[in-house]
Chain A
Amino acid sequence: MSDKGGGTEAQRYAWGGAVPLQIHLDDSEVTTLPPPPPALILAPRLGYLPLLVSQIKPFFSSSLPPGADTVWFEYKGLPLKWYIPTGALFDLLCAEPERPWNLTIHFRGYPGNILTPCEGEDSVKWSFINALKEAAYIINGNCKNIMNMSQSDQAELWRSVLNGQLEAYVRVSSKLKLDIVGDEFSLKLNSSTPKSDQTVNTDLDATGTTRTGKVPVRLYIRTIDEDIDDIEDAPIVDSWEKISYINRAVEFHGEEKCFSLHDAIKYLLPEMFTEEVAPTVGSSDTGEAQVEEGEQISGADSSTEKVLRPEIKLVRIQGIEPRLEIPFSWVVNNLMNPEHYLHISIYLKLVPIS
């Protein structure tokens, strides 16, 4: 995509990521004949859906009924929460990635009982800043850095997020001192790739002092209680109640070099791992993406009570399904969203106890 910006290669991929959308106008709001063709648009993974409205509206403006517009999006009957990044929504709701992603746009009948009201770009901005504050509080124990940020810095930060400019973002966010953990894996990795020693060095400098810290994580868990073999057959999510959402900090120390994604998930969902089982590379049905089967809980005591037990089917971050032994520090540093939150989507499958 763009090599001009700073950041690691993975960061650049994460920032450049975009989901192709095919947006249809809801049938009930079509006033012209024939109905307008669907709009094709690239939605940045780190962006939010309401920010696309200004681009989408010209496609449909001619066929809209008169009146005030309150825009919302829907995927297969589920109104989409606008404050969740587009990439996270895509990862969570499309079990098998659907490209382009078919969404339905609505300009009327805002479902106020399901969604929080959104008044354009400002709402999104404030939601973003609030999330940033939250993250800062988790990381530093306070949010002074954010509160004390100058008006121009704040505007620039938001602009960089809006336009997907990684370089500008790195420049502003470095002032916030929200680095979490050192990451010598990237150093090693980068040294092997003869791309830029400079960036690595700067990285090292920035993260020279490894701190013990907490990592803010947003975890979306989708449980599939039917016995399906293929993840594509996962039932359609038609209500947010079917998705459990965990907003919790992962606490780990920089010295634990081998603190892996697996460890982090275990930290977040301890009930899933009542008994530690050595990770074994299980050959799952979905090829290389389904890496781990090792987290199966074979607790005898729980099996006596429950017939079904959850099993992690899929872990998806920024559209990829990393292996669970990947170091968590690398994941945090490279795949986190601009508000310093790591968004993880997890598919759980209830499998009967053998």
Chain B
Amino acid sequence: MTTPSSTTPETARPAGPPAGLTTAEDCAIEVGEIFARVFRTLDDWRERIAAAVPDRADLDILVESLVVPALLASAGSPAADGPPATESLLIGAGFIAAPQYVNGRDAHFAWWLGPLASNPLLGNTSGASRLDLATRVHTEYLRDFRELEWYAVPEATNQTHVTGPYVDQLCTCDYIITLTMPVRLGERMIGVVGADVYVKRLEQVLLPHFLALPGPVVLVNQSGRVVISTEPTLPAGDILPNRRHPADGFDLLPCPGTPFLLATRVAIATPAF
């Protein structure tokens, strides 16, 4: 993944969310910057984890000390003054060690979840809770987590990867985007560090900007999956293009450093019905 372009004076925005960015290009850059901040956090975690001794208990303590403050910062400040901190987007984070790395055991999950509301598996939690795979009987059919996109792709490409948006049935049971980064010792990948971005919190951050634009915009991933939209006929989860929205109806602006694109209407839409 390439580093997003640095902020230019034109993209500097006035303080406070309601003002909004004025062009779709600014919005695309903002999306890139939001993800760049999460990547920087992951990069910091990755260095510390790679430098640590591969002892199960020590690693767990280290990862917990890194990720839990970020997850608890998430819960605190959704609105209030100024734009929300990067951390406030995260609903889960941690390190997943490759098999055999930690004490010669199977794959090891050091993964924490932020406070959850009416989670079908954990109920309501006010603090951070650790993912306990043993309680995930309903995911036994997933034979090997290494086949899952958020692990398999960074392993295969040695690149940072963005998975989703998707409904995560393993932890949050909610709509999220997962960012994972390979952690390497020399030639060997010892695991991935990752963070789950809550789509509904990302929407809180971006929607004021999107609504300030003159026409509807739709944030999609590389598959055309809608993340956030101000076009009512293209809700989150839909795929663009589809039967109602042909591909030539939209211009696509890349969001720097991310696999996301901002789609804007090419022409005045004709009413659907």
Tell me if chain B binds chain A: no
